[in-house]
């Protein structure tokens, strides 16, 4: 058994949704690897965003609402819920600051995202910010 600590990982909403809709996609594979090799982190605001996105009718043709609700329940069960005490306001897109806040407050080593506004900040306070593809090949 390995004594190596599991990496603490933030996965953005788009990658999580890709895992549900397209499990074999690059983001889907990256999320699967992060779950297997690391500890996923979540905050109230990242969970609320995921719930909002998963509730959108545009996904109805691809996955049932029940499957989306189950995905959200599973994510809630496996992710460490992190309280946000340090506010971050540095991203070009202020809506993405929630992922930086989660990473800093949760002492994450890594953020997995395809978002250019977050990727532009790599590394952020010693936290790697990688695309799903880069994460898979590291």
Work out how many domains the chain is built from and give that number.
1
Task: Return the CATH number at 97.
Answer: 3.40.50.1010
Distance, C-alpha 82 to centroid of its chain: 13
Model pTM score = 0.94
In tens, the pLDDT along 67-119 reads 999 999 999 999 999 999 999 999 999 999 999 999 999 999 999 999 999 99
* 1 part of a folded domain: no
Q: 106 is in which domain, residue-wise?
A: 7-137
Residues 12 and 93: their CA atoms lie apart, in Å, by 14
Span 24-64, pLDDT tens digits: 999 999 999 999 999 999 999 999 999 999 999 999 999 99
Q: In whole angstroms, what is the distance from residue 57 CA to residue 1 CA? A: 44
- Select the more confidently predicted residue: 11 or 4: 11
């Amino acid at each position: 058994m390995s004594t190596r600590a599991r990496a603490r990982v933030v996965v953005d909403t788009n990658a999580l949704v890709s895992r549900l809709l397209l499990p074999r996609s690059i983001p889907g594979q990256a999320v699967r690897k992060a779950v297997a090799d690391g500890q996923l982190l979540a905050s109230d605001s990242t969970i609320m965003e995921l719930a909002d996105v998963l509730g959108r009718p545009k996904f109805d043709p691809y996955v049932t609402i029940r499957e989306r609700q189950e995905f959200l329940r599973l994510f809630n069960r496996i992710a460490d819920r992190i309280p946000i005490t340090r506010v971050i306001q540095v991203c070009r897109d202020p809506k993405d600051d929630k992922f930086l806040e989660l990473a800093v407050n949760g002492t994450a080593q890594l953020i997995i995202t395809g978002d250019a506004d977050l990727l532009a900040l790599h590394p952020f306070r010693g936290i790697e910010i990688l695309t799903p593809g880069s994460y898979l090949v590291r």
